[in-house]
Every structure is written in C-alpha cells, then in structure tokens.
Structure 1
Amino acid sequence: MIQSQNQYAIAYSRVIHLSHVIDTAIPQWPGDPPIEFTTVATLAQDGYYLRRFSLGEHSATHINAPNSFHCSGVGIDRYSAQSLIVPAIVIDIREAAAVYPDYALTIADVLVWEEKYGKIFPGHVVLLNTGWQDKWLDKNAFFNRDAQGIMHFPGFGSDATRFLLHERQIAGLGIDTHGVDPGQDDSFTTNCLVLEQPRIVLENLTNLHQLPPQGTTLIIGILRLRDGSGSPAAVLALVP
C-alpha cells in the first residue's frame, strides 16, 4: 500500500511491468538512432562489469514531452514527481483492430466503455489495448507498412482525444503501438493535442491484457534528461 499525490491509500495485489525489455532488435521508428551497448569494463579485467548504452529519447517503451511537438513546450525534466503516479483505465479494442488495423478509437467507444464501468474521472490516463504488443518481436508486423511505406496500426481518433481531454479532463494517453496516433496519421494530431499541456503520452507499452478495465495505478519512471523531448520509461502498474 502506498500514498498517492492526493494522500489517499492505494491498495494493490500485483505489480506488472508495462515496459518492454530494451535490446538492439526492438522495432525502431524510421530515422531513430540505433540502440547500442558497448562494454566499458569487465569483471576479469576491471573487477566490475559496466556498459555504455545509446538510444533515442523515443525508443522502446517511452514517454513523449511537449517540446517534441511544440516549440514552447517543456522538456521531460519538467514533469513533477506527483504527475508520474496516476490512476489509469483500459479500453480494449483488440477485436476491432484485428479486423481493421487502421482502427481509431471513437467517442462512441468511450461512451460504450462508460456504460459498462462508469464515467471516466478527471486525472486518469486512458490506456488503449490494441493487441499490438503481440507483434513486438516482428518488426514488419508491428509497423505493418504497405507497398508505399505507409504504416497501418490502430490508435486514438482525434475526436475521441478532444472529448477525453476537454470533457473528461484526462491526464494523458497510453498505447501498445509505436504511436498514440494511428499509423496513417503523419501529422501526429493526437500527440499534438495531448502535449499542448504537460500531459502524459506513453507508447510501446506491453502487458495491457493483464490490467483490469479500471482501478490500476501507474508509476512512470523517467530519465530526467535536461530539455528532453521524451525518455525511455519504466512503467509499473499497481493492480488492485
């Protein structure tokens, strides 16, 4: 049991990793720098083992910062500690995404969820379980490019994003694909809408199928990179 930013007790029975393991073979967004590990010291020669690693700020499971899409936006180092412990709900669109990989969450989807589980309270992160985490080990399937190189994977529709931001005052979004925007949207509309304020955008999550529709608390670990456009993230889910 822990105390949240609002000083109420959070009870949980399980803790689940929502971050993928980082290695050199994971899917990388076109143009992102490669992931590299270099051995600096070994037990045999130095008495301890140490590596240097290099990766982009938006590689692996990561969080985006406002300055990645807005020139006046803050960097990831400006996120407060309390903003990184947040309640979350999960909307499951796996069935729709399996049939139509370009599926974008709609306002109707949100309202159907609320009919089952109740109105989404302000301050929650909305996680979208698309089933795409199952494609993580297959780069071609994960990005699902067509002959023209256009990516096809599901995400949040812009109307649903505006509804969640303005009518439900959510704290942010998260998804198991490489973008909260559907793969075809090269304008990054959803990212831009959410990051107009220092809200949360989490991408490349995993294990969302292990979370209940409501009641989960997220603990989001970041690297406090000065003026960072984002950061690889260690995301833990506290499940009731």
Structure 2
Amino acid sequence: MCNACVIENVKRTMLSRRSLFTGAAASGAAALAMGAVSARPALAQATGKVVDLTHVLDEKFPTFDGQPGILYEENVNFDQSGYQLWKLTIFEHSGTHIDAPLHFSKDGKSVAELDPAGLICPLCIVDIKSKAAEDANAMVEPEDLDAWISANGEIPKGACVAMNAGWAAKVGTPAFRNTPDDNFAFPGFSKAATDRLAELGAGAIGVDSLSLDPGNSADFAVHNSWLPGGRFGIECLANLDQLPAKGATLFAGAPKHARGTGGPARILAVI
C-alpha cells in the first residue's frame, strides 16, 4: 500500500473515532443537563410579570427590639465632592430579611452558605387573613396546609410556603408589632405546621409579619426547629395579595456576608 493511501486511511479512522467521541460527549452532556433539570424544583412558566415582595428599609421600619434597623452617616457630600456616599450600619434582621440556619444554631449554614439553587423556588401562599383579623397571634396550622393542598395540589419540593395574614398593610402603624397595651402581637407559623412542611420537603417559609413565630410565642419553637434543619425563613414580606396561591416563582436576593445569620434581602416573585 502506498504512503498516501496509508495516510488517508489513518485520517478516516481518526475522524470516525472523533465523531464517536463527540457524539458520546454530547449524549453525556444532554443526560447530565436533564438530570440537573429533573433535580430542581418545578418552577412556574412565567409570563414576565414581576412583583416586588420587599418593603423599603429605613430608620422607621418596625423591628423586633424596637431599635432602628438601619442607620445612615454621610460619608461623602455631593456638593463638596461631586458624588455622594453613605456609611450604613445595618442590623441583620431588619426590614424584609432572611433568617439563615446560623441564626438559631451554633454551627448552621450562614446566609452566605445557602445553596443558590434553593433561593429560586416555587412560591405557595397560604391565606389566613380571616383568622388574623380575629386573632393578632393567629398561626398557620396543619389544617391550613391541608386546605391549601386540597385546593391547589401538592406543595412542590423545595418550595417557599408563605403566610399571607394581611399584616403588610399594618407597616407604619403600631399594630404591626404590638397590641394597644404594648404586648407583641402578630401572626406566624405553628411548629406543627412547619414540622409538616419539613416532611413534605419545603425549603423555606415566609411571613408578612415580624417573625416566623407568632408574637405571643414564649419559646420561638419554629425558629428553633425549622432553621437548624438547614432551611431558611423570610420575614416582613410585602405585596403577597398581588400573587395567586400557586404558580409564582420566588427569587430571594440573599446577602452574602461571611458569618451572616441573615440579612436584608430583595425578594421578588415572577408569574
């Protein structure tokens, strides 16, 4: 056989093997991609409407301890320097914010260590406005979850289940935080409900009130059980009335500071 024939034969063999490996790699990549998709929670098919679930944070926004959650100090003055800059002092659990596992555990995940995939998830909204209108310390109970499931189907794995107690409308009034005789009073979740959500595989809970636990809680049972399990919570949500009970996708813009037990967050929903 001539040298030219040998060379051409080698070329054909190499090209054939290259095609084989390329096809195998493409099939493998496709399989991996399908696996990744199937491992993620089922997200809504969005129409493009974005609802901001975040309150504006300023010095007047209600906080658990009654102290301002954010303080401003002018660092650079525009008239003097042509640009402006604030020095901020921010307390982690202020405004619309995330509670990370580290908030109620010695060595749980910090807010910076939360899995980014879990910050984008299906949003399920449980409406307890009628109960909360009669009892400021009303709670989401297992029967509320049963009613939601009966009306809307199963709660997706990894979902954020949010309580809508109509409490966001009280921001800016003393009733968001206290009774007239200055006792804590606001709705939250019961431990029985969050234990059930943990069994169902929910990844987060959210409230439109000041705390995951109701205002009259003496033991922070939800904080002490839900967060150490590696899950997170969102407090002081806004605009839940603008969303359906199911079908929205939550985007939690969690802060990413080291050792963070939580922090103010930009929370968005897309439907």
TM-score by length of 2: 0.81
CA contact (8 A) 1:57 1:229 kept: yes
Residue number in structure 1 paired with 2:75: 40
* Residue of structure 2 aligned with 1:156, choices 161, 166, 189: 189
Listed as ranges, the matches of 1:76-155 within 5 Å are: 76-138=111-173, 140-145=174-179, 147=181, 149-155=182-188
CA RMSD, aligned part only? 2.0
Amino acid at match of 1:160: A
The offset of 1:108, in angstroms, is 1.0
Amino acid at match of 2:176: F
Q: Percent identity?
A: 32
Listed as ranges, the matches of 1:13-24 within 5 Å are: 13-24=48-59
Size of the alignment, in residue pairs? Answer: 234
Higher strand share: 1
**2:252 corresponds to 1:217:** no
**2:55 corresponds to 1:29:** no
In 2, the alpha carbon distance for the partners of 1:218 and 1:238 equals 7
SS of 1:67 mapped into structure 2: helix
CA deviations over 1:83-107 (Å, ceiling 9, x no partner): 2111111011111100111111111
User: Which sections of structure 2, spanning at least 5 residues, go unmatched?
Assistant: 1-35
CA contact (8 A) 2:125 2:161 kept: yes
Higher helix share: 2
In 1, the alpha carbon distance for the partners of 2:51 and 2:223 equals 25
CA contact (8 A) 2:71 2:89 kept: yes
Change (3 A) 1:114 1:34: closer
User: Which sections of structure 1, spanning at least 5 residues, go unmatched?
Assistant: none
In 2, the alpha carbon distance for the partners of 1:179 and 1:170 equals 18
Amino acid at match of 1:108: E
Q: Give every structure 1 segment of 4 or more consecutive aligned residues whose post-TM-superposition deviation is greater than 3 Å.
A: 3-10, 31-34
Q: Which has the larger radius of gyration?
A: 2
CA contact (8 A) 1:32 1:56 kept: no
SS of 2:74 mapped into structure 1: strand
In 1, the alpha carbon distance for the partners of 2:114 and 2:95 equals 20
Change (3 A) 1:234 1:45: same
Listed as ranges, the matches of 1:163-202 within 5 Å are: 163-166=196-199, 168-202=200-234
Residue number in structure 1 paired with 2:264: 232
The offset of 1:34, in angstroms, is 4.4
SS of 1:116 mapped into structure 2: helix
**2:93 corresponds to 1:58:** yes
The offset of 1:43, in angstroms, is 2.3
Moved more, 215-224 or 30-39: 30-39
**2:233 corresponds to 1:205:** no
SS of 1:231 mapped into structure 2: strand
